[in-house]
Structure 1
Amino acid sequence: MRLPPIAPSDITAEQRGLFEAMTAGVAAKYSSFITTREDGALLGPWNAWLHDPVLGQAFWGATQAMTKERRIPDPARQIAILAVGAHFGAAYEIYAHGAVAIGKHGMSEARIATLAAGERPVDLDADEAAAFDVTRALLRGGPLPDPLYGLAVERFGQPGANELIYLVGHYCFVSMTLNGFAITVPGSPA
């Protein structure tokens, strides 16, 4: 980990508002994986954003908007997020969203392992399959092929197709944050 977690007692005045917002938001949303150190320091991408509170506030705002405006079913969202994390080898992302997918949606460990390996699980429903296929096409680069764009609109409506595209881009950014700062899974060797 290249940026050390910041203990609550070491938070600066400039970081205080962002720290409080992220701590409350993360605690309200995630209970199935470790998001803080024992002393309350944030882990994951939130710690990195806290080190640069001006940009971190913008990144947190985008994250909050992506969380608030859910137009596609959450299992399909988790499939897309895990496919992005696998593409970039972002360990914390796979750890965190794997825990969400298992805990909140009852996805099997085998399905998470398949996604983490960058493969398409055979048991995806139609929404999950569309999310996976669109995500993988976007990750290959270039324009999203018309048939896949049409599938996203058909499955999720135009607002949902928009959300899926934004979601993939957002989690590419989160993966870059995690990988750039070498953010590992809690308890794993640095």
Structure 2
Amino acid sequence: MPVRLPSIPPDQLTPEQRALYDRNREQIAHGFTAFTTARDDGALLGPWGVFLHEPAVGQAHYDQIAAVTALQCLPEPAKQVAILVVGARYRAAYELYAHAATAASEGMDAAKVATIAAGERPTDLSRDEAAAYDVASALVAGGVLSGATYRAARDRFGQGGLNELVFWVGLYAQVSITLNAFDVPSEESWA
């Protein structure tokens, strides 16, 4: 099966791509180490590799991620649950692979990760995880977030935490859609 957007080896990057590549490598080193993000030749995989093809869009995307990351209101397990819900909804192979590994590296039970990745709600969610699951699940289903779900999450995380949760869901919906458009697999075998 041909690759829709092949990974770009570092020695073939334009100056604009190289600037984004360097930024991506820094981001990867500070939080994306639980899974494979690059080939042996240094070509980036997953969303990093895709966004290198349009560096202006990639830079804007990572500016938004940096802004949301700086909020730091939402507990990490809740964030990972929300991201897994989004990946499961869109069936984004690389997203599920990456964030299943991230959640596991942060101590989330493998059965819980597998249940969420299968599109189901685990019965053993913590209160934070349950609030995040409910918000993410409702948002990716479409329509306005119900008042009860909104209030429950706001009461749990505060307004800043709820804002951050909503932003993560939106960002990872974009990432999942992008990965699916270019058929980015979970097991990277790009030439």
79 and 188 in structure 1: CA distance in 2 versus 1, 3 angstrom threshold: farther
Aligned match of 1:44: 46
Find out whether 1:4 has 2:2 as its counterpart. Answer: no
Question: Aligned pair 1:162/2:169, yes or no?
Answer: no
Q: What is the aligned partner in structure 1 of residue 27 from structure 2?
A: 25
TM-score (norm 1): 0.95
Structure 2, unaligned runs of 5 or more: none
User: In structure 2, the residue corresponding to 1:51 is in which secondary structure?
Assistant: coil
Aligned residue in 2 for 1:74: 76
Q: Distance in 1 between matches of 2:33 and 2:112?
A: 21
What code does the residue aligned with 2:112 have? R
Q: Percent identity between the aligned chains?
A: 50
2:8 alignment partner AA? I
Deviations 1:119-151 (A, max 9, x none): 001110101000001111111111100000001
Return the alpha-carbon distance in structure 1 between the equivalents of residues 23 and 14 of structure 2. 14
Q: Which amino acid aligns with 2:46?
A: G
Q: CA deviation at 1:187?
A: 4.2
* In 1: Cα distance, 2:9 partner to 2:171 partner: 27
Number of matched pairs: 189
- Between 1:55-64 and 1:85-94, the stretch displaced more is 55-64
Matched, 1:173 2:171: no
Residue 72 of structure 1 aligns to a residue in which SS? coil
Distance 1:189 1:47 in 2: 11
Task: State the one-letter code of the partner of 1:108.
Answer: D
Of stretches 156-165 and 59-68 in structure 1, the one that deviates more from structure 2 is 59-68
* Distance 1:110-1:189 versus aligned 2 partners, 3 A rule: farther
Q: What's the CA shift string for 1:34-77, capped at 9, x where partnerless?
A: 00111111101011111001111101111222223221100000
Check 1:115–1:188 CA distance in 2 against 1; reply closer, same or farther (3 A cut): farther
